[in-house]
Amino acid sequence: MVAVAPPGHHVATPLGKSATGNTILGKKEFKSSALMMSVTTKCKRKTAVIGSRQVQVIDTPGLFDTTVSHEKIREEIGKCITMSSPGPHVFLLLLTVGRFTQEERETVKMIQEIFGEYSKAYTMVGFTRGEELRDEGIAIEKYIEKSPPALQELIKDCSGRYHVFCNKDKDTQAQQIKLTLEKKLRNLRGEAVKERDEDIKRLEELRANLEKNHEKKINEIDSEVFTELARSRAGIRRRAEKAEAKAMAKSLQHNQQKCTIS
């Protein structure tokens, strides 16, 4: 699981990315700070058992931060890919309850550009500060329903996959997170495999159509060549017959002239 956050998002606070990683793991593995600054400067990977499976959580140092040099971002992306080999099973896109910008809307596209088109099938949204919704008695479904259209579209892009984190209540929600994430990880993997298989099927159909069209084109060319060759042979034959007839007529004329002289 790769935890990412949109550009300009202060995710190193106890309500952010590193704290969420700790909540998922059920223990404090990633360093987080209450200061409004990033604590994570390099990709870090930690492991825990969630339900019946071993899960690796990779905390990323602002892969989409415009204040970081492109060289540094490329270096960290390379590390992230290596750490998650053979490939991330989940991209956890973290958003803060009550905050949503166009930058966050574009993050899914940025993930696709960096990690490939299939990454969207593995992306789910994680809402931090879930305790604020709980304290106000607002269900996450109602929050999403009343949210900006762009946020609803983002969740739709992720096939409706989301989870709410209350990072201040680690102990009380640890078991719930384990059960929920295990189920969502299983569903996510199934959906991704299904989407991949559908893409493979479409590619195979496209290849078959291309081969069919290619064969049809070759047959058309062969037919045109055969027709042209037959036409050319017929022309040569007519010219040969014409030349032969002309030569025979000339020979007969010559013989007639000889007979007349005799």
DSSP 9-43: ---SSTTSHHHHHHHHHTS--S---SSSS----S-
Paired strand residues for 220:
none
Convert the pLDDT of each residue in 24-54 to its tens digit.
777 777 776 554 445 556 778 888 776 667 7
Convert the pLDDT of each residue in 150-172 to its tens digit.
888 888 888 888 888 877 765 55
Paired strand residues for 44:
59
Each domain of the chain, given as residue ranges in start order, spans: 2-197
Q: Is 202 exposed, middle or buried (0-12, 13-18, 19+ CB in 10 A)?
A: exposed
Q: Give phi and psi for 44, each to the nearest 5.
A: -130, 140
Measured distance CA(35)–CA(200) in Å, rounded:
47
- The predicted pLDDT at position 67 comes to 67
- The predicted pLDDT at position 235 comes to 81
Measured distance CA(134)–CA(62) in Å, rounded:
28
Reported pTM: 0.59
Contact 30, 58 (CB under 8 A): no
Q: Are strands 44-50 and 53-59 parallel, antiparallel or unpaired?
A: antiparallel
- The predicted pLDDT at position 59 comes to 78
Each residue's pLDDT, cut to its tens digit, for the chain (262 residues) gives 777 776 555 444 444 777 777 777 777 777 765 544 455 567 788 887 766 677 788 877 665 566 667 677 777 777 777 777 766 778 888 888 877 777 677 777 777 777 777 777 778 888 888 888 888 899 999 999 988 888 888 888 888 888 888 777 655 555 566 556 666 666 666 665 666 667 677 777 877 778 787 778 887 887 888 888 888 888 888 887 887 777 777 777 766 666 665 5
What's the chain's average pLDDT? 74
CATH of 2-197, one of 3.40.50.300, 3.30.1370.160, 2.40.50.140, 3.30.9.10: 3.40.50.300
